[in-house]
Each structure stands twice: as C-alpha cells, then as structure tokens.
Amino acid sequence: MNETNLKTFLTSNLNIDEAEISSITENCTVRKFKKNEYLLRKNEYCKHTFFVEKGLLRQYSIDDKGKEYILSFAPENWLVTDRESSYFNKPSAYFIEALEDSQVVLIDETFVQLLSKTIPNFTDFNNILLHNHIRHLQNRINLLLSAVALDRYLEFIRMYPDILLRVPQTMVASYLGITPESLSRVRRELANKNFKQ
C-alpha cells in the first residue's frame, strides 16, 4: 500500500507508532475514481469516510427542480462523508462525486468505531475531526446568514484559493448559494475595482 498522505495525516494528528499506523492502513481500501464517477449517490447508505489522497471530490444535493447545491469540496488530505447516513444508518440525501481523477482511501465506518477501543488516542483524534467539522459548518451558516454574494465570494477565495482554480465557476456559485451569472457579475465588479484574481 502507499497511502502516503493518510499516513502523514495520521502521524501528525495522532500519537501512534508505525505498527499501529499500519494496522489502520491495512484495514482500509484504496480506490481510484475517474472524473465524474460517484462515490455515493442519494438514497444509498454511506458506509465509509473518504480520505482524499489525490484529486478532488464534492458533496452536493439536488432539489426537486434539478438544481445542485454543493455542501463541500474535498481536495487532497481532506475527509468527506455523510455522517448523517454513515453514523445513523440512514439513506443519504447527498451525492459524493469525483471532480478530478482521484485516489481515495475508504475508511470503513465500523472500523472507525473499532479504532476507538483499540488505539487509546484515537478517540481524541476523532474528536478533533468532529469539532473541526462543526466549526466549519457553523462558520458557513453564519456566512450564509449574514453575507451578500460579493462577501461570500471574497471569503471563499480567502479560505480556498486552491479550489477556486480547480473547479468551474458554476460550482463555486453553487457552493456560495448564488447563480453562475451572479458570480460572473460579482467577479466583473471586482475586476473593475482593480482587484486581481
């Protein structure tokens, strides 16, 4: 196996030795997904946490009119899963899809539960992940409540300058909760004011 990024991710966040690292990675599957391939579809049961070794994923929903709403992007070294589905065993309301050819580590949900029992520090580690997730979601809600299109966009390029360059504008717009046309306008205004990028 060769999940270099995952190993680094684990060692830098978790106080464990080589053997334990291996016992984790041995129990995970590595899979490649082609661009536009699905890791999870609506109404399926999400059984994994996905760790992105290479590539880029997105999690999104589709409403009754077919409009898409992106809840998160997941580039290298990011985790993504639908915890509502994987933890509570409910059919997922979301899709997870590869936006680029990607290499992904599949971490089994039941295996995660097991790790808490066997590796002492794993609980803390998992706690950090959950709290980071909560922090991230809470900030996003606050932004959606308080900020207009321009400010949402500025915040996005501040937070995810890398992702901006890797996904079509349409998807940035979908993440921000505005139309691609609106985003285009916002960008033009910024350009007129001589901001770059």
Partner DNA sequence: ATAAATACTTATCATACATCAATGCACACG
Partner DNA sequence: CGTGTGCATTGATGTATGATAAGTATTTAT
Residues that bind DNA (CB under 7 A): 148-150, 168-170, 177-188
Q: Is 63 in the site for a second copy (CB under 8 A)?
A: yes
Torsion of CA 147, 152, 154, 157, to 10 degrees: 150
Q: State the SS3 of 97-115.
A: EECCCEEEEEEEHHHHHHH
**Residue number, 65 or 158, with CB nearest to DNA:** 65
For residues 177-196, which are near a second copy according to CB under 8 A?
A: 177
Partner interacting with residue 142 (select from DNA, a second copy, none; CB below 5-8 Å by kind): a second copy
Minimum distance from CB of 135 to DNA (Å)? 24
For residues 123-182, which are near a second copy according to CB under 8 A?
A: 123, 126-127, 130-131, 133-135, 137-142, 144-146, 177
Dmax over CA atoms of the chain, in Å, equals 58
For residues 70-99, which are near a second copy according to CB under 8 A?
A: 71, 83-84, 87-88, 93
Residues 6+ apart with CB under 8 A from 85: 40, 44, 45, 46, 91, 92, 93, 94
